[in-house]
Amino acid sequence: MIVDCHVHIGEGVYQACKPEKLLAGMDASGVDRAVVCPVDRNLAVDNAEGNEYVLDAVARYPDRFIAFATANPWYGARAVKELRRAVQAGARGLKLHSKVQGFAISDDIVNPLIEVAGEHSLPVFVHSGTMVCAEPLQIAMLARRYPSVNFIMGHSGTTDFWNDMIPGITGVKNIYLDTSLNNPASIERYCDTMGPERLCFGTDFPQNTYPVELEKMQNAVPDDQQRKIVLCETILRLLGEELG
């Protein structure tokens, strides 16, 4: 089984992807399921519209998609209310993108949303790799503040935080790494150091395509058993699903 932990669907400004386009890409490459999040503008503003889009996709394709909802912390109490509503409607994780949403991921403005995720045992997917607002060590600071919440670090600090990743993240056990945008050598290094149980396969589709990203995983994690863990087991465990 292959599960993609990082996909955006919706009608955005810089990207647009309908569920059917995603499904076609998944089917052509044998990808079984995908975590779907709202697209760019819906991460920044109109969060409810984006959340409805992904929840609707899940309602139509419940065996294929898993919804992560977003809320921009600048909306304050309204953000908390929207996240609670989306979780009630079926969202199984929180997506934060501090670059698009305009805050530093370690700032306390985000705390109320993380606390909602914690109440519901939801994983929190956070963008990383952008200076000032989404640095790996900022995410480590947040993850230490909430040790019982699991965080998935989108892009694993790519590109120029590779120096910080192993010393800064290895010991923070509630941080997991998304493989998208990472070069195969970095994935191999993280897998060797932190173990495949800390890695989740992700593409950031439609930013990247399945054939190239899956070939990359084959090269980066050549061991079949380890690759199986990265391609599906880690994310399913974070979602609380039986591995079967």
Partner 1 sequence: MVIDAHIHFTTPLSAGVDEARRAMAEELELMAEAGVDGATGSLIDPLYSNCDAHSQYNDFFAEISKGFEGRFWPWCVVNPLNDDAADEVRRCYEVLGMKALKLHPWMQGFSCSDDYCDPVYEVCAELGMPINFHDGTPAYSSTLGCADVARRCPEVKVVLAHAGLNDQWRQARDIACELPNIYLTMSGPSMLAMQSIVDSVPAERLMYGSDYGAGGVSLIDYRLHKIQQLEMDDRTRKMILGENALRLLGVK
Distances (CA, A) of 178 to 18, 199, 204: 22, 6, 9
One residue of 93, 129, 136, 196 binding partner 1 per CB under 8 A? 129
Residue 99 binds partner 1, judged by CB under 8 A: yes
Count of CA atoms in the C-beta half-sphere (13 A) of 200 = 30
One residue of 29, 112, 118, 130 binding partner 1 per CB under 8 A? 130
Q: What is the CA radius of gyration of the chain?
A: 16
Piece in contact with partner 1 (CB under 8 A), picked from 19-27, 82-90, 145-153, 214-222: 214-222
One residue of 30, 62, 76, 211 binding partner 1 per CB under 8 A? 211
Q: How far is the CB of 8 from partner 1 (least distance, A)?
A: 10
d(CA 125, CA 152): 5
Residue 186 binds partner 1, judged by CB under 8 A: yes
27-55 core/surface letters (b: 16 or more CB in 10 A; e: else): eebebebbbbbbbbbbbbeebbebbbbbb
Residue 101 binds partner 1, judged by CB under 8 A: no
Q: Which two tokens stand for residue 2?
A: 């292959």
Residue among 213, 221, 241 at smallest CA distance from 30: 213
One residue of 24, 59, 131, 243 binding partner 1 per CB under 8 A? 131
Question: Which lies closer to partner 1 via its Cβ, residue 11 or residue 56?
Answer: 11
Query: Helix (H, G, I), strand (E, B), or coil: what is residue 32?
Result: coil
Residue 219 binds partner 1, judged by CB under 8 A: yes
Residue 112 binds partner 1, judged by CB under 8 A: no
Q: Which residues bind partner 1 (CB under 8 A)?
A: 15, 99, 129-131, 155, 158-160, 181, 183-186, 204, 206-209, 211-212, 215-216, 219-220
